[in-house]
Amino acid sequence: MTRKRDAVYIISVAAELAGVHPQTLRIYERKGLIEPFRTPGGTRRYSEEDLARLGLIQELTSAGVNLEGVRRILELQNDNDRLRSQVDRLRRLLGEAEARYGGTTLPSTPVGPQGVRRNLPDIIRGFPFRD
């Protein structure tokens, strides 16, 4: 979501910078491809990030991708960015855990059958409700 201070371009300026008609930006918004900041009066304001997204939309549509395909590509790109962020966070946490426990990722845990360290409780296998 665009922050207020970053959204500085009104629709006519954003459309000109993106090389499209203002009505095209309204269509993109209706299709969920872009979400400009709205002032309290309802005026759309676009940021540099929005303009970059518009450039990608234009590139994809010029390559023959329809608007639903563009929407799906943008959705997947957002999912990918979110997952990369989670992986980065988990790597950082793993590094902190390794540093805390002297190079191993887990504190000392009880040793289970066959000498394997276990962090999970025993699981009872089979059906408990047999006749």
Report how far apart, in Å, the C-alpha atoms of 60 and of each of 15, 67, 85, 96, 117 are.
17, 9, 25, 41, 51
Q: Which residues contact 37 (CB under 8 A, 6 or more apart)?
A: 1, 2, 3, 4, 6, 7, 44, 45, 46, 47
pLDDT higher at 40 or 4: 40
105 within domain boundaries: no
Residue 116 in domain: no
Could you read off the pLDDT of 55-103 as tens digits, one per residue?
999 999 999 999 999 999 999 999 999 999 999 999 999 989 888 887 6
Give the pLDDT of residue 107: 53
Q: How many domains does the chain have?
A: 1
Q: Is position 131 within any domain?
A: no
Nearest-angstrom CA–CA distance, 9 and 50: 10
Is 36 domain-assigned? yes
Identify the pLDDT of residue 131. 47
- pTM greater than 0.75: no
9-21 pLDDT, tens digit per residue, is 999 999 999 999 9
Our CA angle for 120, 122, 118, nearest 5°, is 40
Instruction: Dump pLDDT digits (tens) for 31-59.
Output: 999 999 999 999 999 999 999 999 999 99
44 - beta bridge partners? 38
CATH of the domain at 54: 1.10.1660.10
The reported pLDDT for the residue numbered 54 is: 96
Higher pLDDT, 85 or 119: 85
